[in-house]
Amino acid sequence: MPKKNNPETLALAMDYAAAIEACAAYVQVSKPAIRTPEDAYRIVRPIIDAATGGDRQESFMVLLLNTKNRLVKPPVEATRGLFDTSPVHPREVFREAVMHSAASAILAHNHPSSDPTPSKEDIDITRRLIEAGKILGIRVLDHVVCGRPSDTSPGYVSLREKGLVSFD
């Protein structure tokens, strides 16, 4: 674990704070609607970059939406994990959604490998979170796995678009 007064750690924290501040201002001014997985990816990718120092570890984000699919606040980092895993629990994922009376949520996390191909664990946790959301009355609309753009990929995979999980 890096020390708090390490210059690299401080720079990373400042980058993250600046990204969250910029996103908060954007959300407040434009009240963006998230209608596609690409919309979600464009919002969370810079925050994940700032949070993880450019994909050094996994970060699990939640986009909280109102009934018109507009962000109610900047994306929330529910958990941050290791290089290739991020333990996710419904309690952390839905805490802010309940506090801010979100109507729905979009899940997003990065793969430090830059390959956005969903794993079996990604699919399993998505199913679990959909069920938890149903109990709370918060609909999970999608889970976007973020990687990096390449010749063969836009840089993300939507579990909804790929039909890997039933969101209804």
* pLDDT tens sequence across 68-98: 999 999 899 999 876 666 689 999 999 999 9
Residue range 123-135: mean pLDDT, rounded: 97
d(CA 7, CA 122): 34
Inter-residue contact 20 to 12 (CB < 8 Å): no
pLDDT at 87: 81
Cα 40 from chain centre: 8
Q: Nearest 5°: CA angle at 116, between 16 and 24?
A: 30
Cα 114 from chain centre: 15
**HSE-CB of 62 using CA atoms within 13 angstroms:** 31
pLDDT at 78: 92
pLDDT at 29: 60
Predicted TM-score (pTM) of the model is: 0.83
